[in-house]
Amino acid sequence: MKNRIPVVLLACGSFNPITNMHLRLFEVARDHLHQTGMYQVIEGIISPVNDSYGKKDLVASHHRVAMAQLALQTSDWIRVDPWESEQAQWMETVKVLRLIERSRSKTADYPVKHLPLHHHNQLLKSSAQMEDPDPSKTPSASAALPELKLLCGADVLKTFQTPNLWKDEHIQEIVEKFGLVCVSRRGHDPKGYILDSPILRQFQHNIHLAREPIQNEISATYIRKALGQGQSVKYLLPDTVIAYIRDHGLYSSDGSWTGKGKIS
Amino acid sequence: MTSRNHTQDSSGVRGFHLDHQLQLLPMDTSEKTEVVLLACGSFNPITNMHLRLFELGKDYMNATGKYRVIKGIISPVGDAYKKKGLIPAHHRIIMAELATKNSHWLEVDTWESLQKEWVETVKVLRHHQEKLATDSCDHPQRSLLMDRPGRKRKWDEQKQDSSPKKPQEPKSTGVPRVKLLCGADLLESFNVPNLWKTEDITQIVANYGLICITRAGSDAQKFIYESDVLWRHQSNIHLVDEWITNDISSTKIRRALRRGQSIRYLVPDLVQEYIEKHDLYNSESEDRNVGVILAPLQRNISEAKHSNPTA
């Protein structure tokens, strides 16, 4: 049986708060990669951005991490990595990718203080899980090192065009060395963005465009607005996250948010 | 049609001002009309989109300051509807109950699905309105969340009933009114030949009322304008904008399942687990009722023939 390349999907972002749409990105991306017959997705990682990113209305990272953890309680393959959010300052996405990949290639050699130990345990656990008795469900991945790919929506792909937001050499490293899995979003033309950019065009074989046939435009911006106006957000994000938001008074209309970031 | 005011901030995100923002301040709740939202449909399976309809409908009606939504009822259609791909009612009921397990105000009603023949929507509305009237007469002060005979009782309501923590129900203006909650697709289905009786549509909008959740920019307003019946009763038709395009149709869910694709986060987890455990949707299930005529079409066409033998 042909061996599939094991893949780990990493999503970076504000997750302010995490929504069902974020969670869907992972499911759609995994289905897409499996359908190619070439890959076996073994893990998904959510890495909430650091508070010093300075985005408007960003609540404190410990909240965003906690909410993501609650959302992923019932997932057996996606987890949260708080490392990026715990650093002293914001770091470029490519650095997060590099770091996570380094942690997998080295084993005991890697300075554990830079990463939670469970990182390694998770990797070992997911490798063990690949010995699944039902070969039709989970075809075995090769013993090769997993490929780490950046998972994002088409809107993020578009931001590559925004002046000064990304360094060109970083974009190149992301698509050349790692790879991108981009889930389509209404109003975006990911094929167009790729064709418009020389770097993306050159490495388009490493950019996987996944189509989400079930449009589900749950933006976190809308969620925050709805919460501010006292409207229901039930069924747009997990109940446990809604309860957390309520218990901690996040995103309320009187402006009492607990974010530390600057309001731009 | 009730009006909605829109704003659009600089980032292009649209919000809407509540029509009666001043009335959100403490107001004598006894002046409000109590409303029960009823949704009829296949729920094959129930999805997060169905559940969102209720939340949007409730927020909207409460925000007008004139209504207080006290309950939402999901009434899955009976098997005699004969729609293609419709799986047995008991599964659809169980999934709806699993989906509303954590809701304090939504419930599933089995009356419609237990009838031997298909029941017109207006009759389901009438059934529930009469039931509310009876309850109101028998127990004027009684909380409507308490059990009624014949209704499937959810296991956690046992605890709720005996707990004293529910405050006194405020006085209300008479019997709660049942209104039909739906998406734009149902509204537009009024035009499908022989699907609805004209007198039924009239009764629905005249005697009960419609709360229609529509995608922003949809043609619902135009549709109402072009129909004399709907136009006449437009004050009883509430159009609610859905800013989040929520295209989680049951058809797409079933298609995804046939293709081995994930439906997680599109339906409640318990529903997804139930579907997986019972392998409810596949090519065989989708072939159910193929070649069979839909019950309302069957009935309306044959009734027309009877009254018009030469037709």
CA A136 to chain B, closest CA, distance in angstroms equals: 11
Q: Which residue would you say has higher pLDDT here, B7 or A36?
A: A36
Three-state DSSP state, A209? strand
- Smallest CA-to-CA distance from B183 within B132, B229, B125, B245 is with B245
CA A94 to chain B, closest CA, distance in angstroms equals: 27
φ/ψ (deg, to 5) at B74: -100, 120
CA distances to A57, A207, B141, B278 from B132, in Å: 45, 58, 13, 35
- What is the predicted ipTM? 0.79
CA B59 to chain A, closest CA, distance in angstroms equals: 6
Per-residue confidence at A164, pLDDT binned at 50, 70, 90? confident
Question: Which residues are paired to B37 by β-bridges?
Answer: B72, B179
CA B13 to chain A, closest CA, distance in angstroms equals: 8
Distance CA A83, CA B163 (A): 44
Q: Is the dihedral of CA B180, B185, B187, B189 positive or negative?
A: negative
Q: Which residues of B touch A231 (CB under 8 A)?
A: 59
- Smallest CA-to-CA distance from B300 within B49, B122, B132 is with B122
B246–A216 C-beta distance less than 8 A? yes
Supply the pLDDT for residue B7.
46
Of B15, B52, B247, the CB nearest to A235: B52
| DSSP notation for A20-38 | HHHHHHHHHHHHHHHHTTS
B247–A214 C-beta distance less than 8 A? yes
Angle, alpha carbons B18-B19-B20 (nearest 5°): 95
Supply the pLDDT for residue A139.
52
B55–A235 C-beta distance less than 8 A? yes
Of B52, B56, B269, the CB nearest to A74: B269
CA A237 to chain B, closest CA, distance in angstroms equals: 8
SS3 of chain B: the string is CCCCEEEECCCCCEEEECCCHHHHCCCCHHHCEEEEEEEEECCCCCCHHHHHHHHHHHHHHHHCCCEEEEEEEEEECCHHHCCCCCCCHHHHHHHHHHHCCCCCCEEECCHHHHCCCCCCHHHHHHHHHHHHHHHHHHCCCCCCCCCCCCCCCCCCHHHHHHCCCCCCCCCCCCCCEEEEEEEHHHHHHCCCCCCCCHHHHHHHHHHHCEEEEEECCCCHHHHHHCCHHHHHCHHHEEEEEECCCECCCHHHHHHHHHCCCCCECCECHHHHHHHHHHCCCCHHHHCCCCCCCCHHHHHHHHHHHHHCCCC
Of A213, A219, A235, the CB nearest to B51: A235
Distance CA A158, CA B32 (A): 48
Q: Which residues of B touch A31 (CB under 8 A)?
A: 260-262
- Smallest CA-to-CA distance from B208 within B276, B93, B130 is with B130
Of A222, A229, A232, the CB nearest to B13: A222
Of A31, A216, A235, the CB nearest to B261: A31
Yes or no: say if B242 and B5 are a contact pair by the CB < 8 Å rule.
no
Q: Which of A121-130, A162-171, A218-227, B34-43 has the lowest mean pLDDT?
A: A121-130
Instruction: Record the tokens describing residue A79, joined without a space.
Output: 């987890």
A186–B256 C-beta distance less than 8 A? no
CA A46 to chain B, closest CA, distance in angstroms equals: 16
Instruction: Record the tokens describing residue A149, joined without a space.
Output: 């790919």
Compute the mean pLDDT over every residue in chain A, rounded to the nearest whole number: 83
CA B55 to chain A, closest CA, distance in angstroms equals: 6
Yes or no: say if A175 and A200 are a contact pair by the CB < 8 Å rule.
yes
Residues in chain A: 264
Q: Which residues of B touch A222 (CB under 8 A)?
A: 13, 243-244
Q: Which residues of A touch B256 (CB under 8 A)?
A: 213-214
Q: Which residues of B touch A235 (CB under 8 A)?
A: 48, 51-52, 55, 268
Q: Which residues of A touch B265 (CB under 8 A)?
A: 20-21, 23-24, 27
Of A31, A229, A236, the CB nearest to B244: A236
Q: Which residues of A touch B248 (CB under 8 A)?
A: 214, 216
Which amino acid makes up residue A154? Answer: A
Question: Could you tell me the strand order of the sheet in which A5-13 lies?
Answer: A78-80, A39-48, A5-13, A147-153, A180-183, A207-210
- Smallest CA-to-CA distance from B181 within B44, B291, B57 is with B57
- Smallest CA-to-CA distance from B48 within A225, A234, A22 is with A234
Q: Which residues of B touch A217 (CB under 8 A)?
A: 244-246
Q: Which residues of A touch B266 (CB under 8 A)?
A: 20, 24, 214, 216
Range list of β-strands (E), A71-198? 78-80, 147-153, 180-183
Taking CA atoms, what residue in B is nearest to A137? B260
Q: Which residue would you say has higher pLDDT here, B117 or A105?
A: B117
Q: How would you write the pLDDT of chain B (311 residues) with one tens digit per residue?
A: 444 444 444 444 444 444 444 445 555 556 899 999 999 999 999 999 999 999 999 999 999 999 999 999 999 999 999 999 999 999 999 999 999 998 999 999 999 999 999 999 999 999 999 999 988 777 665 545 444 444 444 544 444 444 455 555 555 568 999 999 999 889 999 999 999 999 999 999 999 999 999 987 778 999 999 999 999 999 999 999 988 877 789 999 999 999 999 999 999 999 999 999 999 999 999 999 999 999 999 999 998 888 877 65
Three-state DSSP state, A50? coil
What pTM, to 2 d.p., does this model score? 0.80
Q: Tell me the pLDDT tens digit for each residue of A62-80.
A: 999 999 999 999 999 999 9
Q: Which residues of B touch A214 (CB under 8 A)?
A: 247-249, 252-253, 256, 266
Residue A154 parent element (H or E): helix A154-159
